[in-house]
């Protein structure tokens, strides 16, 4: 277990001063943004939903909106920018700094978890947390679950009781989706349904152990903050008045818990702008739901919807294909992506008879491109997830085509394959002791 210190980003946790008289704007925003981006950037009061199509300048829009708020005289420390990763927050605030200078350093920025960590260390006593509580990382959490599982005699069930990794996953989903353990098990882990009673006992023991030892896991940071905001109205109002302008990035990848936090953080003002794309939600396996972005106007009545549709990455033929795919979605925010890059090769759709045929086709295409003089490091193959690449990795290896894999292990580097290869090497060469 590791006592985690607060993130290096310093929030100004005091009631900000009232807005001063707006100074002259530091730049001509209309010259640096397209009309759709400018409309979103000029929004100040009230809830706003920005539907940002792929490659439409979403980050630029967020950065310029923060800069313009400060230009208008909004106290920087009253602005909170919530992002999916700390790196994204640092990048955005760095870009804000390039626009308006040192004032950007006072803006609150970070992930939901880093924000919750700081707020709970200051305000967490009503939910049983002292300022010095310890945060469990994923490994610590799983080890504690394993220890408690043994103490409850659940290691000797004689059947397949969930392993510690799966237990952490199940309990995490109950937190992130705001669903009961029973619903999560029945709907997503039905093969463990016979252990529902034992899982409920283990969950209760896990919560008790953390409470007694002043421990919280990553999910608890958000759960405890939401609990605090719900049960303690004065604290909710204090925090809401600290952060009177809230911006949320990648809103389509938030979960129910995070959406509830946003609603409560904005309790006194509703000055919330969320940015995302309902067509790009990919983290459902972590509990994220695109329902959040679809239901934002219900959560914040009167929300103004802005759309960023001009694409700066692709050519029009690619966007026409993307638009057709988006049209087929049964539930969506209607949008038509377009670009000024009107010319370009037509996308090709190839229907392979199987995974092996697909891998052979891709490998052959790579060879053809290389023969045309295109360097291998200018060719990329994208996959939905890491393990989908395994068959192509084998095909490329067979053809002596070098490649670099970004994200996850190469197939031949996974533990079980390395074990098998070690045995085969010994069979092939009994003197191999490596």
Average pLDDT over residues 230-239: 97
Per-residue pLDDT, averaged over 28-32, amounts to: 94
Judged against a pLDDT cut of 60, whether residue 152 lies above it is answered with yes
Distances from the Cα of 324 to the Cα of 90, 319, 320, 334, 342, angstroms: 35, 9, 6, 11, 17
Over the stretch 78-112, which tens digit does the pLDDT of each residue have?
Answer: 999 999 888 999 999 999 999 999 999 999 999 99
> pLDDT band at residue 14, thresholds of 50, 70 and 90?
very low
Q: Are 25 and 69 in contact (CB under 8 A)?
A: no
Q: What's the predicted TM-score (pTM) here?
A: 0.81
- Three-state DSSP at 422 gives helix
DSSP 3-state of 408: coil
Q: List for the chain the helix, strand, coil content (%; round to 5).
A: 55, 10, 35
| CA angle (355 as vertex; 354, 356 as ends), nearest 5 | 95
Instruction: Quote the CATH superfamily of domain 33-121+221-308.
Output: P-loop containing nucleotide triphosphate hydrolases (3.40.50.300)
CA distance 59 to 52: 9
Q: CA 52 to CA 50: how far, in whole Å?
A: 6
Task: Give the DSSP letter string of 300-313.
Answer: STT-EEEEE-B-SS
Q: Which of 165-174, 210-219, 378-387, 394-403 has the lowest mean pLDDT?
A: 378-387
Residue 351 or 425, more confident: 351
166: enclosing H helix or E strand: helix 164-177
Share of the chain above pLDDT 90, in %: 69
Mean pLDDT value across the chain: 88
Q: Given phi > 0 = left and psi -120 to 50 = alpha, else beta, which region is 366?
A: alpha
- 257-315 pLDDT, tens digit each: 999 999 999 999 999 999 999 988 777 767 778 899 999 999 999 999 999 999 999 99
SS (H, E, C) 315-370: CHHHHHHHHHHHHCCCCCCCCCCECCCCCCCCCCCCCCCCHHHHHHHHHHHHHHHH
CA distance 67 to 259: 25
Radius of gyration over every alpha carbon of the chain, rounded to an integer in angstroms? 25
**pLDDT tens-digit series, residues 306-338:** 999 999 999 999 999 999 999 998 889 999 999
pLDDT at 212 over 80: yes
């Amino acid at each position: 277990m590791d006592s985690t210190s607060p993130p290096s980003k310093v929030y100004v946790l005091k009631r900000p001063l009232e807005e001063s008289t707006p100074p002259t704007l530091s730049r001509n925003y209309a010259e640096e943004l397209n009309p759709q981006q400018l409309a979103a950037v000029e929004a100040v009061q009230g809830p706003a939903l920005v539907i940002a199509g792929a490659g439409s300048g979403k980050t630029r829009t967020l950065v310029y909106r923060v800069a313009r708020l400060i230009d208008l005289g909004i106290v920087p420390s009253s602005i909170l920018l919530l992002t999916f990763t700390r790196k994204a927050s640092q990048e955005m605030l760095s870009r804000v700094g390039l626009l308006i200078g040192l004032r950007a350093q006072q803006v609150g920025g970070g992930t939901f978890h880093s924000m919750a960590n700081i707020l709970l260390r200051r305000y967490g006593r009503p939910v049983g947390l002292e300022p010095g509580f310890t945060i469990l990382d994923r490994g610590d959490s799983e080890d504690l679950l394993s220890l408690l599982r043994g103490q409850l005699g659940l290691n000797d069930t004689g059947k397949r009781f969930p392993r510690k990794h799966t237990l952490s996953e199940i309990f995490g989903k109950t937190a992130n989706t705001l669903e009961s353990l029973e619903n999560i098990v029945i709907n997503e882990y039905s093969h463990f349904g016979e252990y529902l009673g034992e899982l409920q006992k283990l969950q209760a023991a896990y919560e008790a152990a953390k409470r007694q030892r002043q421990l919280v896991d990553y999910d608890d940071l958000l759960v405890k903050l939401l609990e605090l905001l719900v049960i303690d109205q004065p604290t909710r109002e204090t925090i809401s008045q600290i952060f009177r302008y809230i911006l949320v990035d990648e809103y389509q990848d938030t979960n129910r818990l995070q959406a509830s936090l946003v609603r409560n953080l904005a309790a006194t003002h509703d000055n919330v702008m969320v940015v995302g794309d309902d067509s790009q939600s990919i983290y459902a396996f972590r509990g994220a739901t695109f329902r959040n972005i679809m239901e934002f106007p219900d959560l914040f009545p009167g929300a103004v919807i802005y759309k960023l549709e001009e694409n700066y990455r692709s050519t029009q033929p690619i966007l026409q294909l993307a638009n057709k795919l988006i049209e087929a979605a049964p539930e969506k925010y209607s949008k038509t992506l377009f670009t000024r890059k009107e010319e370009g090769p037509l996308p090709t759709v190839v229907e392979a008879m199987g995974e092996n045929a697909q891998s052979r086709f891709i490998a052959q295409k790579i060879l053809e491109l290389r023969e045309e003089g295109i360097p291998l490091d200018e060719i990329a193959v994208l996959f939905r997830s890491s393990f989908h690449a395994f068959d192509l990795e084998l095909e490329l290896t067979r053809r002596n085509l070098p490649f670099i894999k970004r994200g996850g292990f190469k197939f031949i580097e996974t533990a079980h394959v390395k074990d098998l290869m070690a045995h085969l090497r010994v069979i092939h060469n009994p003197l191999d002791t490596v």
